[in-house]
Structure formats: C-alpha cells, structure tokens
Amino acid sequence: MFVDSATITIKSGNGGNGLISFRREKYVAAGGPDGGDGGRGGSIYVEVDPGATTLMDYRYKRQFRAENGGDGKDRRSTGKDGQSLTIQVPPGTIIKDSKTGKIIADMVYDSPKTLLARGGNGGWGNMHFATPTRQAPHFAKNGLRGEERELILELKIIADVGLLGFPNVGKSTLLSVCTSAKPKIANYHFTTLEPNLGIVDLKDIGSFVMADIPGIIEGASTGAGLGDEFLKHIERCRLLIHVVDVSSIEGRNPIEDFDKINEELKNYSSTLAEKMQIVVANKTDVIMDEEVFENFKVEMEKRGYPVFYISAATKQGVSELLKHTIEKLATLPFSPKFEAEMTIEEKSTPDKEETKFTISRDETGAYVLEGKWIEKVGGSVNFEDQESLVYFQRTLRRGGVIDALEEMGIQEGDIVRIYDLEFDYVR
C-alpha cells in the first residue's frame, strides 16, 4: 500500500537528575559532596532508507521516544547517557513541524542524518554547589526535559520525468515498455491508484527515472479524483511528458484534454505550470477520426510544443521519444531541495529566550510562573534544606521574578506555582 503522508509524535529523552551524595569512607572525615551529574537524554534523528518507497510504517506506529539519561552516581560519577533513536524515511520525504508548518528537513538520497529532537541535558550533582561558605550542599539539579514535537511527514517522490495525462491515455503502458516497472494495466479509468517508478536505461546514451503520476483529471487541484493527493509528486520532476489519447476511441477531444490538465497544474502551483513539457500523442495506430487528429497536430505546432506521435502498445516512436528526453534532461538543472526553515542544534545554547518568564493568576488566585529557565531552577530546590531555599530565592531575584511578583501585588502567604512545585510566598 502506498502511503505518502503521516503525522507522528517524537519525544527525546529527559536528562538524568543530579545526585545528592557525600563521600563516606573509613578514615576520611568530612569527605564533602560527591554527587555526580545526570546523563544526557537520548536524541531523535532521521535518515534516508534508499530502499523504502512509502510511509506505510508510520501509519501504524506514531509515537517515538528516545531513552532517558541515567541519574548521577556517588563518587562524582556521571549517569549513563540515554540511547538515541533514528527513524528512517524513503528518499524524497519532507519533514515539517506541525505547530509552525516550517520545514525541518528535506531528506533526499544524499541527505545526512538530521537531528529532530535534542535530548535533555543531565542535571548537576551537589558537588557543583560546594563553596567555601556552603561546604555541604543538600541539593542538586534535575535533568532537563527532552523535546517533544509533532511532525508531518510528506513524501514527494524523486523522479527526473513525470508522466501526466488523463486516465486511460496509455501512461502505464508507456512506462511498462520503457522500463522494467510492472504497473497494473487495464482498459478502464483509474487503473493506476498510486505512483509507479521505473528506470529508463538507453545503453551508451543515458538513463533517467520516470514516474507515472495517476489520478489527474479536471478538478484535480481542488480534490477531484485522486489528483490533489498526487499532484505534489510532480514537483520534483525536471521534465513532464504529457500523454494525450489522439485515437478518438472514447470520443474525447485531445486539445481540450491537454488544456484541462495544464489548467490543473496552473491552479495547483505556478511552478508546475512552468515546467518543460514534451507532448506525446499516443494510440496513433488506432485513430478513429483523422480530422480531430489533424486539428491537434496543427494546434500543438502553433503553440510550439515538441510532439511525438507514438503507439505505446506497439512501441512505435517510443525510442525516438526517449532519446529526445535524455537530450532535454541534459540541459535542465536538477530540482533543488526544499530549504530547511528551522534547525535543531545538537547542543543547547543560551539565548535571550532563556531569561524570559511569564506570570499569570489561575482561578484559585495563585501566581503561576512559567519559563524554561524557571523550570530548571525549580527542579533543583530541596525545600527541606535552608541553603537550597536561599539559592533558589537568590536566583529568582537575580532573574527579576521577585520584583515582577511584587509589582503584581503579591502578599506574604500567597501561593506561587512553578509547574509541579507549589509554595507560599515569604518576603
């Protein structure tokens, strides 16, 4: 089953907590703090699987989590780092952040492994908080939470040439005689329900990848048929071969068919409408109306399109078409990758965002503090230790939190909430 889109949720590992520990050995008095740091949480990456052709796996499994970091140990030992996780996608997969819609990565064949969610840093053990005046700190820092985000995976197949045209005009037949692909072929509409890929290889001349794009009919750009699902697969094609049935067997007008398909390309994307096209007049071995056929030839010549008259069923004219296609491809640039609009750094770097915080009042009247750095500070508090409380209050005051609370009119005894922490305000 061909699946070209999926939505998944990823969660990198939390950092391990720092340890509160003191050196206790025989004959060593007042050994001091020796609590180690927590290990770093595992990150989540994505890489290309060259053999994959569908996002089928992500229809059934949508939650991906990396391993948490281990807590710190005594004797200044750091906890074990969490194991990272790498997900694999077929070439041509674009990965977007569902919240912002921004592109994180466009995974083509030569794309390197890309970071999607950074693991949380481990918390500091109490050995870091020892000072000449605070020689036995009874507090440590918790590890930072891993990043969690919802991602949209969208597969846009990678092919040099895209075959387009109305159903039953002979696209699948043409693909089958040019390549080793074995698409389903029958004499009824919508035989092809998913894109088919094949490699055209003309010895001593060149080769290219050809894709049969199904489901494009009038109204496709607005959802008719399967067109809105498959038009996106033409975006990476460097060249389009527009197949038209000129036999008149079904009573269709080839000029009207040609114009309708191009209108759908224009409505979907101006980029698609501007792609170079080679017009292929197919089924010339069974022409039923010579006047319709001649009118088509005259009109295409007037518009300046290169036209090849073939019979895919008998292979007449196919060789000339393929040679011309290779010549044209040599003059066209490769389709550019979609540029990343957001990147995830391997290591967190301090920035202005880390000094920001917000204060609000909930329905009970409690003051609710939020902010990444405030969450970090709150995770290090030991409310049963006076030195820990002093450290906590000093950090909040330096960050401007205490002043902001007092400007909002906080009174002694009012409740302050920082995520999972709740305490009474004391001046």
pLDDT along the chain (427 residues), means of 10: 84 93 70 88 95 87 96 91 96 94 92 94 86 78 90 90 87 84 47 70 86 64 50 86 91 91 87 91 92 94 92 93 94 87 73 70 87 74 73 83 88 84 79
Q: Which residues pair with 106 in a beta bridge?
A: 94
Closest listed residue to residue 256, CA positions, set 241, 266, 244, 247: 244
What pLDDT does residue 295 have? 94
Q: Which residues of 406-415 are buried (b: 16+ CB within 10 A; e: fewer)?
A: eeeebeeebe
- Please give the single-letter amino acid code of residue 338: F
What pLDDT does residue 352 have? 45
Closest listed residue to residue 87, CA positions, set 122, 128, 58: 58
Q: Mapping DSSP to helix (H, G, I), strand (E, B) and coil, where does residue 282 land? A: strand
Question: For residues 425 and 359, what is the distance between their CA atoms, to the nearest angstrom?
Answer: 14
Taking CA atoms, 8 is separated from 96, 224, 228, in Å, by 11, 27, 22
What pLDDT does residue 28 have? 57
Question: For residues 109 and 236, what is the distance between their CA atoms, to the nearest angstrom?
Answer: 13
Asked whether the whole model's pTM tops 0.85, one would answer no
Burial of 95 (0-12, 13-18, 19+ CB in 10 A): buried
Q: Report yes or no: 425 and 414 within 8 Å, Cβ to Cβ.
A: yes
